[in-house]
Chain A
Amino acid sequence: HYYRFDEHVLLCLEKQSSGKEKNKHILQHKYVRCSVRAQVRHLRRVLCCRLELPLQHVQILFNNEVLPDHMTLKQLWLSRWFGKPAPLLLNYSVKEKRR
């Protein structure tokens, strides 16, 4: 089966703003389309790639809750966003470097 024929979901990714790093690592292209079978880990990987950050530094959250890597976007949609219009609003947080 080809993933490109899967149903899509539309997402909007906003940075969870915090402290000094508030204006860093802001995703310019925050509207995302992907397969319902994509998992949180895939989204994290592409996000890290775009933000040029290591994988361990980025987390994806819904309503302040960190989402597990193996959750599919379909599971996420049905459990948290069912009946709501697109796009599904997600946040991401970037771990600040220790000084």
Chain B
Amino acid sequence: QEEDEQDSDHLMFEFSDKPLLPCYNLEVSVSRGPCNWFFFSDVLKRLKLSSRIFQARFPHFEVTTLPKVEFQRQVSLSQVLAPEEIQAHMAPPLALGAAETVELVRHEPELARLLGSEVMLEAWSS
């Protein structure tokens, strides 16, 4: 409850000494609003962990998959991604009719810290 209240009127700023991994603002199911997701492979690469070890060690981080075509559709609507950043994800499916998916892990403060960022909360008003 307390955390919820803080979330509702605080902005999160993430500071890092190395370039931050991109996040994508996606709606992964119709029953919930959009939130931010990393590519799971980007996170694993930066942490130098396998998917199995990551999920065993951090079972509380939400990992999901999204059909690649749906990911492409949503990403192409972003106003803050450059054409080349969008284009990088637009490779057509490998085989016609193949159900390709992308694996995602949800961005949250704890994961940002794990990736080496310092997280600061700032009140909206004041």
Contacts and interface: CB of A to CB of B under 8 A. Distances in A.
B124 A3 contact: yes
Contact of A2 (B7, B17, B107): B7
Interface residues of B, number: 38
B89 to A, nearest CB: 13
Contact of A83 (B23, B83, B108, B117): B83
B72 interface: no
A14 to B, nearest CB: 13
A2 B85 CA distance: 26
Interface residues of A, number: 38
B12 interface: yes
B117 A7 contact: no
Describe A's contact surface by its main secondary structure.
mixed
A11 to B, nearest CB: 9
Contacts, number: 106
A74 interface: yes
Contacts of A38: 11, 13, 122
A34 B12 CA distance: 6
A24 to B, nearest CB: 18
A53 interface: no
B13 A31 contact: no
A57 B9 CA distance: 26
Interface of B: 7-20, 22-23, 25, 33-36, 78-85, 107-109, 112, 117-118, 120, 122, 124
Interface of A: 1-10, 12, 27-38, 42-43, 45-46, 49-50, 74, 77-78, 82-87
